[in-house]
Amino acid sequence: MPEVEPGLPKLVHVPEMIPSPIWGISGFRLLPTATWRAIRAQEVDRAGGACEVCGRAQSKGLICHEVWDHRIGEGQGIATLAALRMQCRPCDEVTHYGLAESRGRGARARARLAQLNGMGPEMASAVIEVMYERHATLSSVRRWTVRIAPSLAERHPDLRAIEQVVEG
């Protein structure tokens, strides 16, 4: 799970807002389809065919989510692919709340966020507001170095192909 902002309670799951300059940089988008499918298959096995957020077991439809850690230091950002996490579609909508909202599914994703974290709608809205503020801060950084966490690169060496420097 991404680092939670100060002032928020410890949460089970939160929206993850990708900084605008590095939208589209992911193993899913940049690796050959066969390579990504092999990685995903290994991760489905590792997760036991269940959503790693809510625990729901399902034989099909799990999404291999890329968990990124975004840090800012000395005028540049560092985006580290820290982990891969299997998610069911409802949990994935929470993760990609901004996308869900743009597609008219924001209310459903907000309700799922509240359910997963045992909170009311007001607190869910407050969490989303904080995550949008974090997105704005991260998106203001124009230079990003994209890295893969060593433990993840050891398990899936092909992911190293997405490491790069982005000038946005």
**DSSP character string of 128-159:** HHHHHHHHHHHHT--EEEEEE-HHHHHH-GGG
Summarised one tens digit per residue, pLDDT across range 98-120 is 999 999 999 999 999 999 999 99
Mean pLDDT to the nearest integer, 54-70: 95
| Per-residue pLDDT at 109 | 97
**Model confidence at 17: pLDDT above 50:** yes
Q: What is the rounded CA–CA span in Å between residue 81 and residue 61?
A: 22
H, E, C per residue of 17-36: CCCHHHCCCCHHHHCCHHHH
| Per-residue pLDDT at 59 | 80
| pTM for the full predicted model | 0.90
